[in-house]
Chains A and B, each alone.
Chain A
Amino acid sequence: MDKKTISLDHGSGGLASQKLIGELFLKYLTSPALASLEDCAVLDEQTGRIAMSTDSYVVTPLFFPGGNIGELAVNGTINDLAMRGARPIALSLALIIEEGFPLDDLEKIIQTIGRVSEEAGVAIVTGDTKVVPKGAADGLFINTTGIGVVAHHCNISGKRAKPGDKVIISGSLGDHGITIMSNQAGIDIGGDIASDTTSLHNLVASILEPETCDVHVMRDPTRGGLATTLCEIAQSSKVNIILEQDKLPIKPSVNTACEIIGLDPLYLANEGKCLIICTASRAEQLVKIMRQTPEGKDSAIIGTVSTVEQGKKPRVTLTTTIGGTRLLEPLTGEPLPRIC
């Protein structure tokens, strides 16, 4: 017998849709709000400002070392909320599935979404499924939207980096990007290369409580990598940022893979790393706290914020291992592997 696959009927809203929702989705996504199958979820009252974020996930391959698209979809949106200091409280889940998509794979992905959202303590409270004809999508696209509450009196924004501040990263750089690119290239580098996808809201909570005012900027350096994210912050805050190459946590296996494919780890996506810019006097203490969490165990201070020279534009530079200065520009286009 053929492997079971998704058909256009599964997206029709009719019996096949109901069966899919009842037997697959609700098996793994267990929030009462979702199970009620109403047109929308109504959540409990909250105190504080509401934060909201949305992201779509179109990764190829759907399964990769360290996770799958489902993990990215949950963690990515949770992290976007956490980076403004928000406590995530609920997620929506919308799927666009290509006709013929293996039911087994869908089940694995939904199971992952259920597990990750439960571990994170952020429920999927509403959802939608569409099926498009073969060729109209590439397997599976996912959108998640999340809402959270900014309960603290914190004011975290890309505009708040100040001269003298320190730059902290919560762990090794480029793991997710190189995993996907070496997988696409069919290159098996071996070693410990795997996506770093994880949710960061608990790490963030650990450093925002009890105080918040010392953390000025938080960002998760996803697409475009650390370099592009820092360029955006330098631009918004009108400051220079100086990174120390010696201090950057990059796994040897990631470096090796980058050398082979011709990529730069500073421009590769991360899916479970938090970049923090904070008052210098608090930096060491924050790193200590972060290192006590599993997702922040390799946290390090990697750079300093400084004043823009008069008449110059804000810039991000890297002091290289040999003591040279290199300018870091935002990524242009998709990162392309080099010929030699």
Chain B
Amino acid sequence: MKCADEFRSREITAPLLQELQKTVDKPIRIMEVCGTHTMSIFRHGIRSLLPPEVTLLSGPGCPVCVTPASHINAFVAAASLPETIVTTFGDLIRVPGTSGSLADARSRGGQVEIVYSPMDALSLAQNNPKKNIVFPAIGFETTAPTIAATVLMAKNLEIKNFFILSAGKTMPSALKQLMGDPDLAVDGLLCPGHVSAIIGSDAYLPIARDYKLCCAVAGFEPADILAGLLSLAGQIQRKAPTVENCYTRAVTSQGNLRASQLMHQVFMETDSEWRGLGTIPDSGLELREEFACFDATRQLDIHPEPAGEPKGCKCGDILKGHLLPPDCPLYGTRCTPLNPVGPCMVSSEGTCAAFYRYSDKK
């Protein structure tokens, strides 16, 4: 990815860091909402370069991490159906449900295949007309338009053996719920570049206005992230919360209207359960009535096991930014990347996994 190289060069990042040092004059707490930000911060060693006054907290923006056990149980139940293949994004496969993950379902003889896009799942359906292909539709506004496009294509091609398990989520309602939490001590939000490319930077205006919270939309390269942090530090210093778009090469104020339309044509908002955060009104996506023939829960005989959160797991508090991973009693002992208990340890984007992998706090 040659075009990204300049955003990783020290010539660009060093002045940003110097500026950040100058701007930060008191302790500030910033939540990076998105898992891809968390990953990038660790991969480039950004924490080690920041002024000590800056605390970064990881928010609820890893799609795998916020998928609750009840949804995983449904995916696992689908994998045990006869003549059924469950297709999945790679990092979902190890997420534990109540009794096991999709990987466990596979080792018990269920057919589970890793795909790289929902279109791959549709091709699998075309190539296996005698099998039902189920695609667990997890993810945020970044993945929902592609899934919507796949459903529309399935409809146009009259494919009868392709099904969606709706588990998609939307970011703004979840953020509002989170920001309404009186215990949440956060000065600013580093808003995700790719979600914002779809929903537009204006989507955060109500958060800045209603919760007096500084917001900066940032991309995922080191220079992007530092520019976002600098914008937040400036807003915090000036006590002037607003939304600044530091990722103008990809994000507009209105977002990608075509992708949004596509998403709303196929999905409608519904209440949705988030791992660790509980049920948040209007924060999920389910298929509209006219696409019911692709809805796995309505068309197939799926009986998920009843779900409960794993005992002792603090993923909820970590997703809310109340705790850092090493504060969880299971972290690094019962819960490791090899044997994850909570979802934040499973996905490489998960806060706990990123902490475990890239920091020396074991």
> Which residues of A321-340 have CB atoms within 8 Å of chain B's CB atoms?
321-327, 329, 332-333, 336-340
Q: Knowing A256-B1, A326-B42 are in contact, say whether A186-B120 is a contact too (CB < 8 A).
A: yes
- Least CB distance, A274 to chain B, in whole angstroms: 26
Does B100 lie at the interface of the complex (its beta carbon under 8 Å from any beta carbon of A)?
A: no
Q: When the two chains form the complex, which single residue of A186, A259, A319, A332 contacts B337, counting CB atoms closer than 8 Å? A: A332
Q: Is the CB of A326 within 8 A of B44?
A: yes
Total interface residues on A, CB under 8 Å, equals 29
Q: Is the CB of B45 within 8 A of A339?
A: no
Does A10 lie at the interface of the complex (its beta carbon under 8 Å from any beta carbon of B)?
A: no
Does A43 lie at the interface of the complex (its beta carbon under 8 Å from any beta carbon of B)?
A: no
Q: Is the CB of A321 within 8 A of B359?
A: no
Q: Is the CB of A340 within 8 A of B143?
A: yes
- Least CB distance, A15 to chain B, in whole angstroms: 38
Q: Is the CB of B46 within 8 A of A324?
A: yes
Q: Is the CB of A336 within 8 A of B94?
A: yes
> Which residues of A240-281 have CB atoms within 8 Å of chain B's CB atoms?
252, 255-256, 259, 261-262, 264
Does B273 lie at the interface of the complex (its beta carbon under 8 Å from any beta carbon of A)?
A: no
Q: Is the CB of B142 within 8 A of A340?
A: yes
Collect the chain A residues with CB atoms within 8 Å of residue B348's CB. 262, 336, 338
Collect the chain B residues with CB atoms within 8 Å of residue A318's CB. 45
> Which residues of A139-194 have CB atoms within 8 Å of chain B's CB atoms?
185-187
Number of A-B residue pairs, CB cutoff 8 Å, is 106
Q: Is the CB of A320 within 8 A of B63?
A: no
Q: Knowing A322-B46, A326-B44 are in contact, say whether A340-B194 is a contact too (CB < 8 A).
A: yes
Does B49 lie at the interface of the complex (its beta carbon under 8 Å from any beta carbon of A)?
A: yes
Q: Is the CB of A340 within 8 A of B338?
A: no
- Least CB distance, B279 to chain A, in whole angstroms: 22
Q: When the two chains form the complex, which single residue of B1, B45, B91 contacts A324, counting CB atoms closer than 8 Å? A: B45
Q: Is the CB of A323 within 8 A of B138?
A: no
Q: When the two chains form the complex, which single residue of A185, A186, A326, A339 contacts B138, counting CB atoms closer than 8 Å? A: A339
A259 to B39 alpha-carbon distance, docked (Å): 12
Does B260 lie at the interface of the complex (its beta carbon under 8 Å from any beta carbon of A)?
A: no
Does B43 lie at the interface of the complex (its beta carbon under 8 Å from any beta carbon of A)?
A: yes
Encoded as 1 (CB less than 8 Å from any A CB) or 0, chain B from 328 to 362 comes to: 00000000111000000001110000001111100
A320 to B45 alpha-carbon distance, docked (Å): 7
Q: Is the CB of A325 within 8 A of B114?
A: no
A329 to B359 alpha-carbon distance, docked (Å): 9
Q: Is the CB of A321 within 8 A of B93?
A: no
Encoded as 1 (CB less than 8 Å from any B CB) or 0, chain A from 61 to 90 comes to: 000000000000000000000000000000
A318 to B347 alpha-carbon distance, docked (Å): 22
Encoded as 1 (CB less than 8 Å from any A CB) or 0, chain B from 29 to 54 comes to: 00000001000001111111100000
Collect the chain A residues with CB atoms within 8 Å of residue B358's CB. 326-327, 329
- Least CB distance, A202 to chain B, in whole angstroms: 34
A153 to B140 alpha-carbon distance, docked (Å): 60
Q: Is the CB of A259 within 8 A of B357?
A: no
Q: Is the CB of A340 within 8 A of B63?
A: yes
Q: Is the CB of B9 within 8 A of A340?
A: no
Q: Knowing A186-B120, A324-B46, A324-B49 are in contact, say whether A339-B222 is a contact too (CB < 8 A).
A: no
A187 to B117 alpha-carbon distance, docked (Å): 11
Q: Is the CB of A332 within 8 A of B336?
A: yes
A24 to B222 alpha-carbon distance, docked (Å): 56
Does B297 lie at the interface of the complex (its beta carbon under 8 Å from any beta carbon of A)?
A: no
Collect the chain A residues with CB atoms within 8 Å of residue B114's CB. 336-337
Q: Which partner residue on chain A sits nearest B223 by CB separation?
A: A322
Q: Knowing A187-B116, A327-B359 are in contact, say whether A336-B49 is a contact too (CB < 8 A).
A: no
Does B303 lie at the interface of the complex (its beta carbon under 8 Å from any beta carbon of A)?
A: no
Q: When the two chains form the complex, which single residue of A255, A262, A264, A325 contacts B48, counting CB atoms closer than 8 Å? A: A325
Q: Knowing A186-B120, A339-B91 are in contact, say whether A323-B349 is a contact too (CB < 8 A).
A: no
Q: Is the CB of B49 within 8 A of A255?
A: no
Collect the chain B residues with CB atoms within 8 Å of residue A324's CB. 44-49, 222
A185 to B4 alpha-carbon distance, docked (Å): 24
Q: Knowing A261-B116, A321-B9, A324-B45 are in contact, say whether A329-B64 is a contact too (CB < 8 A).
A: no
- Least CB distance, B13 to chain A, in whole angstroms: 4
- Least CB distance, A73 to chain B, in whole angstroms: 26
Does B2 lie at the interface of the complex (its beta carbon under 8 Å from any beta carbon of A)?
A: yes
Q: Which partner residue on chain A sits nearest B347 by CB separation?
A: A338
Collect the chain B residues with CB atoms within 8 Å of residue A325's CB. 45, 48
A321 to B64 alpha-carbon distance, docked (Å): 29
Q: Is the CB of B116 within 8 A of A252?
A: no
Q: Is the CB of A338 within 8 A of B1?
A: no
Q: Is the CB of A322 within 8 A of B142?
A: no
Does A201 lie at the interface of the complex (its beta carbon under 8 Å from any beta carbon of B)?
A: no
A320 to B94 alpha-carbon distance, docked (Å): 29
Collect the chain B residues with CB atoms within 8 Å of residue A320's CB. 43-45, 222
Q: Is the CB of A332 within 8 A of B2?
A: no
Q: Knowing A326-B358, A329-B357 are in contact, say whether A337-B336 is a contact too (CB < 8 A).
A: no
Does A216 lie at the interface of the complex (its beta carbon under 8 Å from any beta carbon of B)?
A: no
Collect the chain B residues with CB atoms within 8 Å of residue A333's CB. 94, 337-338
Does A219 lie at the interface of the complex (its beta carbon under 8 Å from any beta carbon of B)?
A: no
Encoded as 1 (CB less than 8 Å from any A CB) or 0, chain B from 50 to 86 comes to: 0000000000000110000000000000000000000
Q: Is the CB of A336 within 8 A of B91?
A: yes
Q: Which partner residue on chain A sits nearest B143 by CB separation?
A: A340
Q: Knowing A322-B49, A327-B359, A333-B94 are in contact, say whether A339-B64 is a contact too (CB < 8 A).
A: yes
Does A315 lie at the interface of the complex (its beta carbon under 8 Å from any beta carbon of B)?
A: yes
Q: Is the CB of B1 within 8 A of A339?
A: no
- Least CB distance, B19 to chain A, in whole angstroms: 14
- Least CB distance, A218 to chain B, in whole angstroms: 27
A322 to B9 alpha-carbon distance, docked (Å): 6
Q: When the two chains form the complex, which single residue of A315, A327, A336, A339 contacts B139, counting CB atoms closer than 8 Å? A: A339
Collect the chain A residues with CB atoms within 8 Å of residue B49's CB. 322-324
Given A256-B1, A320-B222; 11 other pairs, CB 8 A cutoff? A186-B116, A252-B2, A315-B360, A318-B45, A325-B48, A329-B356, A329-B358, A337-B116, A339-B139, A339-B347, A340-B140
Q: Which 9 A-B pairs have the closest CB atoms?
A: A324-B45, A337-B90, A336-B90, A332-B337, A339-B89, A326-B45, A322-B13, A320-B45, A325-B48
15 contacts between A and B (CB under 8 A): A322-B10, A322-B46, A323-B49, A324-B45, A325-B45, A327-B357, A327-B359, A332-B338, A336-B91, A336-B93, A336-B348, A337-B91, A339-B91, A339-B349, A340-B36
